[in-house]
Structure formats: structure tokens, C-alpha cells
Amino acid sequence: MFIVFEGVDGCGKSTHAKLLTQWLRKRGKNVFYTAEPTNGEVGVLIRKILSGKITADPKTLALLFTADRAQHVLEIEKHLRKGHIVVSDRYYHSTVAYQAAQGIDRNWLLKLNNFAPNADIVLYLDVSAKDAEMRARSGEIFEKKEFLAKVRREYMKFKRLDIVDATEEKKTVQDKIREIVSDALDKR
Ligand code: TYD
């Protein structure tokens, strides 16, 4: 099973992805927890751009995120073949939503990411752009509410998202996530 967490900056997906991973492990599941951008060479370069140390135009950034993902997919597939549950903090939906919000053609982004296998569950942690801006404080380039509102609109164009209201209390949000994942596991 392949589970992805998505959402705008500051939505709390990293916290919830980690909590879900702990919970699944306690239930005896073998879980590979991972995130994009990765810690690989391309991921490190991306972090430099996100911090504003160096600049890259949106198309270059889209290609870098996707190159990072190409490497990442190999690792994800290795774990899926072993029967592990994979939990990823961000996946190709991030490239489609963020780089489309930067003005890149959405269909081009979707086609570029065609190689990436679909996840079984895409949990979208929903917060307003205003809340997101207040909560996101890492100093990265995308943490502005006008931009995050565009990103959110791009995310909403995806059909198969499990949307979770992430403005609720942490426990309520996590319980909802566990319910969605439990149901999916039971159906297997
Ligand atoms: P984020 O999950 O916010 O990482 P952290 O919480 O560790 O800073 O991701 C970093 C930023 O990169 C975030 O603003 C979203 C953006 N991003 C893209 O623009 N495109 C992508 O394909 C990915 C994976 C992330």
C-alpha cells in the first residue's frame, strides 16, 4: 500500500504522516516513511533554491523536482515489492499544484510525471491559504498566502483526493486519517 500526504505549506502533513507511521508500526506493519524533496543530491539542490540562496526559473524547478522523484520512485517501488507500506510526505501532486501555480502548463506537468506510479491513498490536508501562511514559518519561497491560494486551487482539480479538514484539532485530524487508512487496509 502506497499512502501520500499532500497539502500547502503549513498544513501539518509532516506531523500527521509521522503520527500515522508510528501508529501503523505499533500495529505490526512494516512502514517505509519518506518525503519529497528527498535528501539525495537533487533534493539538496532543490532545498537551496527553496531557501532563496540560489534561483531557478519555474520550469527548471519542475524538472528538478521531477528528477528527484524519478530517483525516489525506484526506492518506493523497492519497498512496495517487499510488501511494505510506503508513506510519502509529498509526491507528484506537489509538482503539478505548485509549479502550475507558478505558471507552468498543468498538462505538461502531468505528462512529465506520467512515469510515477499512482498512490493508493492521497490524503489532502486542507487548510485555508491564510491559515497556511500563519502556520508555515520555515522561510521558504512559497510561503505567501496569495501563492498558496493558487496552489490550493490547483490541488482541488485532482479527482482522487481524500480531503481531510486540517483546521480541526490534531487528534481529530489524525483519527480521521487513521479511519481512512484502516478502511483501505481492511478492504485488502
Ligand atoms: P515541504 O513539504 O514544505 O518541506 P518542509 O516542510 O520540509 O519545508 O516542501 C518544500 C517546498 O517545496 C514546499 O513549499 C512545496 C514545494 N514543492 C514544490 O513546489 N514542488 C514539488 O514537486 C515538491 C515535492 C515540493
Confidence at residue 146, expressed as pLDDT on a 0 to 100 scale: 97
CA of 27 to the centre of ligand 1 (A): 29
Name the residue of 13, 39, 57, 98 whose CB sits within 8 Å of the most ligand 1 atoms, as the mutation to test its pocket: 98
Burial of residue 15 (number of CB atoms within 10 Å: 0-12, 13-18, 19+): middle
- CA–CA gap between residue 118 and residue 120 (Å, rounded): 7
Q: Is 92 close to ligand 1, i.e. is its CB under 6 Å away? A: no
Q: CATH number of the domain at 2-187, out of 3.90.105.20, 3.40.50.300, 3.40.1190.20, 3.40.50.720?
A: 3.40.50.300
Q: How confident is the model at residue 188 (pLDDT cuts 50, 70, 90)?
A: confident
What's the pLDDT tens digit per position in 156-187? 999 999 999 999 999 999 999 999 999 999 99
Burial of residue 130 (number of CB atoms within 10 Å: 0-12, 13-18, 19+): exposed
The full set of domain ranges for the chain reads 2-187
Q: What percent of the chain has pLDDT over 90?
A: 98
Q: What is the pTM of this model?
A: 0.97
What's the pLDDT tens digit per position in 73-121? 999 999 999 999 999 999 999 999 999 999 999 999 999 999 999 999 9
